[in-house]
Amino acid sequence: MNGAPDPTEPALAAAERKLARLQAQIDAARTVLRGLLQQVAQAEDRMTKSQAALLLEVNEELVVAALRAQTDADTAVQELDVVARSAELDALTQLPNRQLLMDRIAQGLASARRHGGRLALLFIDLNGFKQINDTLGHAAGDAVLELTAQRLASAVRGVDTVSRYGGDEFVILLAELAHPSGAARIADKLTAALGVPAAIGGQTIGLTASIGISVFPDDGADGETLIALADAAMYCAKRRGVGRYAFHGQPAVGEPGADVTPPCAAPPPRQ
């Protein structure tokens, strides 16, 4: 999947355009205020008793314009906040997108280094998603992705981050991990949560996924490396069968006899 377009680019471009429009509105309001202030100064220079009414009128206009400008500014701030948050979320699932995920990973790594802790990344790929799209339609496929997002989020802690990485791939950041075995327990919970039957496109289906796991600092020191290793481990788990998970450099787990299979280490070629 190297070379694929970044799904955050359209959202970011829209955010930049909206920011430009809002900034133009604020600049226009400031221009009006400057003009009114100049009128006040001119009125004061030539004011006589007969012109007091003119100054009062200009002052009233200035107050109204100032209130309107403040309202516009407050609205602009609120809209900018909405735009900023929407640019960090996947449009379909409302999960953090890839950009926000990388920010969270960087924060998690900094904290883990300071406190000598661990974190883990779980790379998750749904099994049979293309078949669902092909047989039940894209609307059913979208429903599956939304359901997957909900079930993944329900199986982790509040300090963790569930992200849609792209297509039917998700990445979970497990922060403040005491031991790698904690990641295995989460993988089991995710598998169980996904497997609960659900009505999709008029059919009852149970979802399965392949999960690859990498751990800081055992496997890598930066987000890109940890994601790549978890991705490779996921492919290794997928080759061993449905519904398995695998740690980088260790056998895939999920079915009897999995513990005697060769370690998952060599990353497969990405299309």
Helices (H) and strands (E) in the chain, counts: 7, 8
Crossing angle (nearest 10°) for helices 98-115 and 223-240? 110
Tokens 């895939």 sit on residue: 252
H-helix or E-strand spanning residue 248: none
Strand segments (E) across 178-233: 198-200, 203-205, 209-216
Contacts 24+ apart (CB under 8 A), 19-26: 19/80, 19/83, 22/76, 22/79, 22/80, 23/76, 25/72, 25/76, 26/69, 26/72, 26/73, 26/76
Three-state SS for 34-75 is HHHHHHHHHHHHHCCHHHHHHHHHHHHHHHHHHHHHHHHHHH
| Amino acid (one-letter) located at 51 | Q
Query: Which is the catalytic residue, given 160, 168, 219, 231?
Result: 168
Q: Is 45 a catalytic residue?
A: no
8 Å CB contact between 126 and 207? yes
CA 147 to chain centroid: 16
Distance CA 219, CA 224 (A): 12
| Catalytic residue IDs | 168
